[in-house]
Amino acid sequence: MWATVWFALTLAIIYYSYWINKWRNPKCNGSLPPGSMGLPLIGETLQLLIPSYSLDLHPFIKKRIQRYGLIFRSNVAGRPIIISADPEFNRYIINQEGNLVEMWYLDTFSKLFSQDGEIRTNAIGLAHKYARSLFLNHFGSESLKEKLLPEMEKTINRTLCQWSNHAPVEVKHAASLMALNFTAKQAFGYDLSLNISKSFTGFLKGFMSFPLNLPGTAYHKCMEEQKKMMDFLRQELEERLASPNKHYKDVLGQAVDDLKKEKFLTPEFIVKMLFGVLFASFESISAVMTLAFKLLSEHPLVLQELVAENDRILKNRKDRHSTSSLTWDEYKSLTFTHQVINEVLRMGNVAPGLLRRAMKDFEYKGYTIPGGWPIMVVTSARHMNPDVYEDPLVFNPWRWKKLDSYTISCNFTPFGGGIRQCAGAEYSKAFLATFFHVLVTKFTWTNIKGGEIARSPILGFGDGVRIKVCERH
């Protein structure tokens, strides 16, 4: 009996050792980049999710660059992955989409946006082109110039008046609600309820979590909140479909009209596309806005020049007592305001990396990138490169005066790059610039509490940033 037990234990040890060795040394038809695969099943996920209290590169990335170099391998959420902070390799990857690499999402987004049949978010084709064209049609430069800019200013002015009449506000949540409501109004003519905003907050908390869909986990809560929002959007779509004789000029209205013309469109794709539009505005704009409040409060000289530039806009108008809105030419002339926004985007790195997946094995600098492996392009490494940005951890909007357009195009990618560059880039920058124009010309604020950075790895602010807004006299 004891001989049988020892034999079974020996087999178990041999099998376990074999399995561990296989985990640590993945099969590859060539030479993998150096790195560690971490613990079985969970990989190095926990190290990546440990909060960092700095705007510098996340320690997970920084330590491994020091140990392995700019290109290394790891395992996150049970998936082997190549992580790159190499500028040349990153540019190569972005430009090779559709040839060597394809779009890829974490499991949370994959389950949210995946489609049966032909339409998939990681496929380059009709769906992607259509969604991009639809967004640019309603949120691009022409729409901003013709109608959105004055509507933004009205919404922002009304929101800041509300902030000034209340107790201190928590910036991230209040800004999220403002951006979400404005985008929803343009997308399907609806003022969102507070409950939907809370659902987006709950979704965001779990979207970077370990994909373990069990009751009580952050991922499970994330999926529950996602279901609430998708049901809400399906209801909006169903109401439109039930009124075929009514024609709306918003995003949903155009999508419903196109449903009859474009064979690849489905009601479910429209719902998921709407969610993507809302989620993008909810998170990115509010995170940048919150960080800007923190940095401007800490750098009074920057705030002083920002106020002076925007005050000049009002003084240069023919009728100084006019209540006219910010024009497109005035918006484009806000040079320093745009430099401030660029600097906040550079330091904030709201999305610390872009995700792609190798479509087949390929070689780069002696390394083999296996087909099927995800690749994380670490954009934050480029934004914190001291060879490009002197003293990269210093908030210095004036640095953008010295940077030429070529250097900026190669080293500043807050909205992604290649054919997947965010269609909402101009919309986001216009919303931020308009917000700060209204803020500094009509209001003042004082910091009440918070401001601690807590990146994990998405930009966060610990207990939040609370401010008291007052009308400027």
Q: What are 83's strand-pairing partners?
A: 72, 376
Q: How far apart are CA 98 and CA 344, in angstroms?
A: 31
Cis peptide bond N-terminal to 386, omega within 30: no
Q: Which tokens sit at 473?
A: 């006299």
Q: How far apart are CA 305 and CA 459, in angstroms?
A: 26
Please name the residues in contact with 30: beta carbons below 8 A apart, sequence gap of 6 or more. Answer: 361, 363, 367, 368
**CA–CA distance from 391 to each of 101, 154, 378, 399, 455 (Å)?**
34, 38, 19, 10, 20
Mapped onto helix, strand or coil, the DSSP state of residue 459 is: coil
> Is 422 known to sit in a ligand binding site?
yes
CB 100 within 8 A of CB 362: yes
Q: Which has the closest alpha carbon to 204: 346, 270, 108?
A: 108
Q: Which helix (H) or strand (E) holds 75?
A: strand 71-76
Count the Cβ atoms, other than its own, within 10 Å of residue 293: 23
Q: Which tokens sit at 97?
A: 């989409």
**DSSP assignment string, 363-418:** EETTEEE-TT-EEEE-HHHHHT-TTTSSSTTS--GGGGGT--HHHHHHH--TT--G
Please name the residues in contact with 342: beta carbons below 8 A apart, sequence gap of 6 or more. Answer: 397, 400, 412
Q: How far apart are CA 56 and CA 391, in angstroms?
A: 11
CB 397 within 8 A of CB 336: yes
User: CB-side exposure of 154: number of CA atoms within 13 Å?
Assistant: 8
CB 179 within 8 A of CB 281: yes
Task: Please report where in the chains the tokens 């001291």 appear, as a residue.
Answer: 386
Please name the residues in contact with 182: beta carbons below 8 A apart, sequence gap of 6 or more. Answer: 151, 152, 155, 281, 431
**CA–CA distance from 369 to each of 45, 324, 446 (Å)?**
21, 56, 50
Annotated binding site: 422
Annotated binding site for heme: 422
